[in-house]
Amino acid sequence: MANIPQTIGNYRLEHELGRGATSQVWMGRHIFLHERAVAVKLLLSHDEESVLRFTREAELTSQLRHQHIIQIYDHATPTNSFPYTVMELVSGGSVRQRVEKDGKLPLREAITIFRQIGSALDYAHSRNIIHRDVSPGNILLDASGSRALLTDFGIARLPDQRHTSTDMIMGTPGFFSPEHARSATLVTSLSDLYGLGVILYFMLSGQLPWETPPQHPDYRFDAILPLGYHGVELPLEVEKIIRTMLAIDPQKRYPTASAAMEALDGAFARSGIVTDEQPLTLGEATAVRAINTAPSFQAIGLVESEVEQALAADLLREPFERSHARAEELRDPLVLARVLDQWSTSGRRREFRKQHLGRIVNLREVRSRNVYFYQLEVLLETRTEPKDVEEPDANAPDLPVQKEQNRWQVVLPPPSAFEDDPGRAEIIPGSERVIACPRCEGSGYELCPECKGSRRVLVSRPVATSDGGDGVALRRQQEGPGHVAASRQRAAGQPAHLNDAAASETTQVRQVLVPCTVCAGMGRLKCDRCHGEGRLVQRRAFEWSRRALKASSYDDLPHLDENQVRQEVELTKVYEERHIGGLKREWSAVPGLKGLIANVQKQLGTDTCVAMAAVTIMMVPYTEVRLDLGHDEVVIEGETEERRTDDRVHLVQIYGFENLVRVGSFAYDGSQKLLFFWSFLATIAMLLLLVALLLPIFL
C-alpha cells in the first residue's frame, strides 16, 4: 500500500478492487471531473516481457469496440512510476465471485451472460484477436447484474503473432482447452469457445465439468459429467450441445458462439423453456414473401436427420453451419427465384427454358436436408480354440506363477491399418505347467527301438564252405583266411584238373551278434520328445489372424439419384472416427450404417470379433422444391385451340453447396393421383380382356 502512489496520471486512487500475480486494479476518480469513476490497472512488475504484454493488452483491447468488452480510456508506461491502464469501471464483481458467493446461477441469468460474452468473442474473432484466457474471473458484471463484460486480454494474440512461447501453458486451469495444454501456438478461436462452454457449465452447476479437473502435469481431460449429477435438470439436447462445445477435437466444436447459441435457443424452444432475450423465431427471422407462392406454400428449413441426433457430439460442426445457412437462404422465394433464373437458361426440358423462370413458377413447398454417404471399414480378428503345445524343459527357465488368461484377454500387437494379417500362434500367459515326459516317463531316455535294450543285434553274414565235408571246412577255418587266399593263388597257376577241389567250395549265411549301431551299444536313446530332459513345459496357445472388410451405403431418397449426385458435386466430410476393439454403439442408431453393421455382425462368433472399425460420413446438402409452372398452355386439336391450365407439380432438386439444379420425378396433387389410379386400373382391365379373347384361339 505504501508503495502505491495516491495519484496515477489524472486519477486519484481510492481503494483496491482486486489483484493478480503481477497487477492490481484500483477504483480511481478523475482529479478534475469528479463524477468520472474508472478502474486503474497497475502493473507491479517492470521486467521487459511483462511490460510488453501489458502494453499489448491495452493496444488490443482498445481496438475492440463492443458493448460487452471492457473499454480502454488511457494507457501509459511512465519511467518513474507503474505502467497503468485506465478502463471502464464495472462494479458488480466477476462471474467467479458471483458463483463462489451464491452458487449456481438461474438459467435465464446464465444464458444471458453466455449470449453476451459469446457475442463479444465472435466480435473479437472477427477482428482476428484470440483471447486465450476465457474464464469466469475475466467476466465482469455491472451493478445490476444484467450486463456482462469480457476483460483481461493480457495473453491475447493475433493469429500471425510470432513471439508466443511454445512450451508455456497460458490460461486459467480448469477453463483452458486441451490444445492449451499441448502448446500455446495451437490455441485458436475454437479454444476460446471451449472456455465459454466450461463457463456455461460452471454457471449452471457451480462446478467444473469433470469429477477430477485436468491437472499438471498430464492435464487429462476426462468424460464430462452430466448436469444432472449436480442436480441441474435440463433437456438431454442441451447436454449434447454443451458436450459439443467441450469436444476434445476442436473441429467438432461449434465454429462460433452464435452457432452454439442458436442450437441452445432451438433446444429451449422445443422443450418449452423460456429464456430472456429470446431471438426471433425462425419464421420471423426469414419471413416468406408472398411472391409466386401458392396459398399453401411451406418453407421448411434444414430437417434434422438421425446422423445429427446420434453423432452430434462427434460431428465436424463447420459443414453443418454452412448447410444450415444454405437451407435458410433457400427458404426465401427471392433466393430460389435467382437460383432458378440462373439454371433455366441451360435447362434441358423445354418447359423450363424460360427467362425469369423463378418469377413465373408458383412455389408450393421447399424442404432441405443433408444426404449422407457412409463408409464402414472393419478389421475382423479370429482367435482359434486354444490347444496344448509343449517344449523340453531345457535349462529349467523361471516360470512366473499367474492366473491363466482367457484367449480374448491376451494382448496382441495393436492394429494400425485395415489390412489382412496372417498372424501367428500366441501363448496364453499363466497356462504354463511342467510335466514329466509321458514318452520316457521322466527318465530322459527310451529303449533303443533296434536292440530293445539288449545293446546287440543279430546280423546275417556270409560264411564260405566246400563240398569236401565239414572236416575240410573246419580245417580251412583253422588255417585262417590267409592260408585260404594262398591256396587260391596256387590253384590259379595249376592245371584245370588240379582246381576241382577249390571249385567245389560254397558260401553259407549265418546269424551273428554284433553291437547295435543305432544306439552305439548303449541300449537306449535320448528321448525325442523331451530331448533327454525328462520334463516338458506345456502351454496353451491359439492361432490368430485378421481380415479387412470395407462396405459403403448412402441415404436412399425416393426421387434422388445419389450416384449421380456423388459424381457431380464435391462431398463434404462431416465425421471420421476409428474405434479400437469393436463397433461404437451410437453407429447402430444411424439407419445408413445399421445395415452395414448387421452384415458385419453376421460374421462374428465365439472365435471372431471386431479388432478395429472406422466410419467415414460424407455429406451433400439437398433441397427439394415442389412447384408448378404457373401459366396456361395452348393445345391445338384440329382447327381449334384449347387453353388448359398447366397445374402439374414438378420436383426440382437443388444439391451441393454449388446449388446444382435438376428436375426430378413428377409429383402429383390429389386429383392427379386419383386420375393416375383410375388410368392404371383401366389399363389392367384392358390387358385382362385381351388375354381372355386370345386364350381360346391358342388353346
Active centre residues (catalytic): 133
State the DSSP H helix or E strand holding residue 394, giving kind and residue range, or none if neither: none
DSSP 491-517: HHHS-GGGGHHHHTEEEEEEEEEEE-T
DSSP line for 47-100: SHHHHHHHHHHHHHHHT---TTBPPEEEEE--TTS--EEEEE---S-BHHHHHH
Q: How crowded is the C-beta side of 659, counted as CA atoms within 13 Å?
A: 17
CA 255 to chain centroid: 18
- Apex 484 CA angle, 478 and 485, nearest 5: 145
| Residue owning grid cell 530331448 | 531
For 642, the enclosing helix (H) or strand (E) is strand 640-646
Residue keyed to cell 458493448: 67
CA angle 299, 305, 311 (to 5 degrees): 140
Distance CA 654, CA 339 (A): 9
C-alpha cell at 470: 565239414
Grid coordinates standing for 232?
Answer: 441441474
Q: Where are the beta strands (DSSP E) in 175-321?
A: 293-302
DSSP annotation string for 90-143: --S-BHHHHHHHH-SPPHHHHHHHHHHHHHHHHHHHHTT-B-S---GGGEEE-T
Distances (CA, A) of 219 to 131, 178, 222: 21, 8, 9
SS3 324: helix
Set of cell numbers at residue 139 = 467476466
Beta-carbon count within 10 A of 155 CB? 18
CB atoms within 10 A of CB 375: 17
Residue 415 Cα distances to 505, 510, 579, angstroms = 83, 71, 11
Sorted by sequence, the CB contacts under 8 Å of residue 256 that are 6+ apart come out as 122, 125, 193, 321
Q: Which residue has the cell 516481457?
A: 49
C-alpha cell at position 260 = 452454439
3-state helix/strand/coil string of 448-493 = CCCCCCCCEEEEEEEEEEECCCHHHHHHHHHHHHHHHHHHHHHHHH
Rounded distance, CA 321 to CA 327, Å?
10
Short-list 173, 466, 42, CA closest to 475: 466
